[in-house]
Amino acid sequence: MGERGINGVSLREITREAGQKNASALHYHFGSRDGLIEAIFEKRMRLIDANRMKLLDRMEREGRLDDVRCVAEAVTLPPAELLNTPDGGGNYIKFLTEMFLSTDANIDDFVRGRLDGGLRRSFEILKKLLPEMPESILRQRFIIMMRAGTFALADIDVHRKRMEAEGKPFDMQRAIGTLIDMWVGGVCAPLRSTEAKTTGREAA
């Protein structure tokens, strides 16, 4: 699904790749394609969300939640850690990008209220750090940077594998650090003049 899209591979192919001889095994375990997608989120997103919460808790204990960069790290680092796992974590990042582009499935339907606690907490922190920015604009920027960051992680993973295949070194730490820098810049970019006027009217 990560390589070809959620509708680019048949359930029969998935069953075969899983080494199952029973063609109905996938339906038995997951019920449907949506059931399989939900199970994928349950496996990966639950871990990402738990790690994001732990990271935010640690930052709060250390008194570090007074900087937008800390929020950018909390959003970016937990999924980035999957790129270093041996069990296909990078494929999950590609799967997420396919889900973002899909018109047949809405990622929010699978995670909202169950697997997105860390993201919701991160946004609440951002609102406190950037009180001058209208919430609707801040929310849109947050979503854009979160999704753009996912695409960037997928690209970083592909670039790293290409470099390693050529026997060349790849600085993953610098790549992730650069992504976090860009995340901060995207969220904190100056408001356009029309947005600033709207903000002024809302304040009045």
Q: Considering Cα of 194, then 198, then 203, then 204, what sign does the dihedral take?
A: positive
End-to-end CA distance of the chain: 50
Q: What is the pLDDT of residue 192?
A: 83
Q: What is the pLDDT of residue 19?
A: 80
- Predicted TM-score (pTM) of this structure: 0.83
Count, residues in the chain: 204
* The residue type at 122: S
Q: What is the pLDDT of residue 199?
A: 53
> Which tens digit of pLDDT belongs to each residue from 113-127?
888 999 999 999 999
Q: What is the pLDDT of residue 204?
A: 40
* The residue type at 146: M
Contact 140, 195 (CB under 8 A): no
For residue 173, count other CB atoms closer than 10 A to its CB.
8
Separation CA 21–CA 167 (nearest Å):
39
**Residue from 36, 39, 41, 38 nearest 26 by CA:** 36
* For residues 48-73, average pLDDT: 96
Separation CA 152–CA 167 (nearest Å):
22
Please spell the DSSP secondary structure of 90-137, one letter per residue.
Answer: HHHHHHHHHHHH-SS--HHHHHTTTT-HHHHHHHHHHHHH-TTS-HHH
> Which tens digit of pLDDT belongs to each residue from 130-174?
999 999 999 999 999 999 999 999 999 999 999 999 999 999 999
> Which tens digit of pLDDT belongs to each residue from 27-58?
777 878 788 888 888 888 999 999 999 999 99
Residue 200 has pLDDT above 60, yes or no: no
Domain residue ranges of the chain, discontinuous segments joined by +: 37-203
Higher pLDDT, 174 or 85: 174
SS3 79: helix
* The residue type at 119: L
73-106 in b/e form (b: 16+ CB < 10 A) is bbbbbbbbebbeeeeebbbbbbbbbbbeeeeebe
Show the CA angle centred on residue 164, arms to residues 161 and 168, nearest 5°.
Answer: 135
Contact 120, 65 (CB under 8 A): no
